[in-house]
Amino acid sequence: MATLNDLKISEIKLSESEGGKWGMVIDQDICTGCQACVAACAMENNISFVGEVDAGYGRSMHWIRIERFWEGEYPEVKMTPNQPMMCQQCGAAPCEPVCPAFATVHSLAEKVNLQVYNRCVGTRYCANNCPYQVRSFNWRDYERPEPLPNQLNPDVTVRRRGIMEKCTFCIQRIHHAQDQAKAEGREVMDGEFTTACAQVCPANAITFGRMDDPQSLVSQLAKRRGGMKMHEDLGTLPVVTYFKGG
């Protein structure tokens, strides 16, 4: 029986050239800021609705958010391009080493950053250490009045108070597609499935797929000139590439 000790350190290490298995490209120039991705993500991943008061205090729970800023001084103001922000699934994630309970860990198979809900004790160190501030904490047990429970996605855990959560790249969809492909004796095809945010985006601003496959649409798009990784200087090796002003 394989135990944890059998895993070699070299297998765990993620080199820079590898760049993750799954990745995303976001084109800020065609993003309309319609927030459909925010809604779809909440539906897909059973994210709680925190209500007016808590949301007003900065406790809204979203795994993806659209950022936009004013630029310049009034009245000469311009809006910056919409910037969808979600977990960047860092190859060297700052959230991982600081968790005392191993509740946030790197998946060896999918090379994404996982949050183990039932292991989380709620120290919130990971959220402090996340340079992208994309983690959401369950400050309370939020109500889900009827008939909302009927809408819950059965493939995703419902979280309770006191634990941290964040974007998983819709890992339930990844697993579903892999199981399907395995049953049919083939590899997962590019574009066979996508994340909820990418699926719902009316402008096709979000593209998701295999980064380790040079033929995939997402790696072709990521290779274009002018791509930018968020806070690349920190060395966190994010797998989401942003394009703007192109």
Is residue 139 involved in binding other proteins (CB under 8 A)? yes
Q: Which of positions 170-229 make contact with other proteins (CB under 8 A)? A: none
Q: Which of positions 88-117 make contact with other proteins (CB under 8 A)? A: 94, 97-102
Is residue 49 involved in binding other proteins (CB under 8 A)? no
Q: Which residues pair with 241 in a beta bridge?
A: 25, 229
Q: Which long-range contacts (CB under 8 A, 24 or more apart) does 129-134 make?
A: 129/94, 129/95, 129/98, 130/94, 130/95, 131/94, 131/231, 131/234, 131/236, 132/85, 132/87, 132/88, 132/230, 132/231, 132/238, 134/63, 134/65, 134/85, 134/86, 134/87, 134/88, 134/166, 134/167
Token pair recorded at residue 110: 């999918």
CB of 164 vs other proteins, minimal distance in Å: 8
Among 32, 57, 149, 187, binds other proteins (CB under 8 A): 57
CB of 10 vs other proteins, minimal distance in Å: 18
Q: Between residues 133 and 180, which has the closer beta carbon with respect to other proteins?
A: 133
**Which residue's structure tokens are 């994010």?**
238
CB of 152 vs other proteins, minimal distance in Å: 20
Among 163, 167, 201, 218, binds other proteins (CB under 8 A): 163
- Does residue 136 come out as left (phi exceeding 0), alpha (psi in the -120 to 50 range) or beta? beta
Is residue 128 involved in binding other proteins (CB under 8 A)? yes
Q: Which residues bind other proteins (CB under 8 A)?
A: 3-4, 54, 57-59, 65, 67, 69, 85, 94, 97-102, 119-125, 127-129, 131-133, 136-141, 161-164, 231, 234, 236
